[in-house]
């Protein structure tokens, strides 16, 4: 018996597939450039590169190199914005100085004070009160629906009578039904 040897061949991708990968690689590079130009506005960048947002999120999730370049672009953007801020501070622009100090210097940070006044309701009290009222309303509605179901089973003694809506709308709810056949019915 002859021994069967497995044949190993190199898998070659069809040229269309390679071209698609080159095109995707090119679009990713374009995306990074437009991302820098448009300050990270994803919708605008996707329009410029002519891709769907889902493609961007897939690239971000599946391609670590793309994600790395994206983070580098964000870092460059932050650096350039900080440069602008510091140039305004150097020109003694009051709002820029205040902005920087409020975020970087603990002495200038705005303080949040939560004041509790005895006897006043807090937000938590109002939420609890709302939940209790909602629970009571739900219980009352379930009791009402059970009692209406009981009265309908006992011979329909409820104050509300059910009528067909078309009769009410046409004003013929109490009119007798005619037994006349339509002229087209049964015509051959």
**Domain locations in the chain as residue ranges:** 16-84
Stretch 56-81: mean pLDDT: 91
- Provide the b/e sequence for 144-169 (b: ≥16 CB within 10 Å): eeeeeeeeeeeeeeeeeeeeeeeeee
Burial 1-11 (b: 16+ CB within 10 A, else e): eeeeeeeeeee
Name 167's Cβ contacts closer than 8 Å, sequence gap at least 6: 173, 175
pLDDT above 70 coverage of the chain, percent: 67
Q: Provide the 3-class DSSP secondary structure of residue 138.
A: helix
Side-chain half-sphere CA neighbours of 56 within 13 A: 21
Q: What is the pLDDT of residue 13?
A: 55
Q: Are 178 and 168 in contact (CB under 8 A)?
A: no
Q: Give pLDDT, residue 69.
A: 93
Question: Which residue in the block uniquely carries the two structure tokens 């020109």?
Answer: 91
- Does residue 176 carry a pLDDT above 60? no
């Amino acid at each position: 018996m002859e021994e069967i040897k497995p044949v190993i061949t190199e898998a070659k991708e069809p040229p269309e597939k390679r071209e698609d990968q080159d095109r995707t690689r090119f679009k990713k590079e374009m995306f990074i450039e437009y991302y820098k130009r448009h300050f990270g506005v994803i919708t605008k960048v996707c329009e410029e590169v002519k891709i769907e947002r889902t493609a961007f999120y897939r690239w971000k999730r599946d391609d670590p190199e793309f994600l790395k370049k994206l983070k580098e672009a964000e870092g460059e953007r932050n650096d350039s914005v900080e440069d602008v801020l510091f140039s305004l501070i150097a020109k003694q622009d009051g709002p820029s100085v205040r902005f920087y100090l409020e975020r970087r210097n603990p002495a200038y940070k705005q303080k949040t004070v939560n004041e509790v006044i005895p006897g006043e309701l807090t937000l938590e009290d109002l939420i609890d009160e709302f939940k209790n009222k909602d629970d009571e309303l739900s219980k009352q509605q379930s009791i009402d629906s059970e009692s209406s179901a009981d009265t309908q089973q006992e011979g329909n003694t409820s104050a509300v009578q059910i009528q067909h809506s078309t009769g009410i709308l046409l004003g013929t709810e109490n009119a007798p039904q005619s037994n006349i056949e339509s002229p087209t019915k049964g015509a051959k």
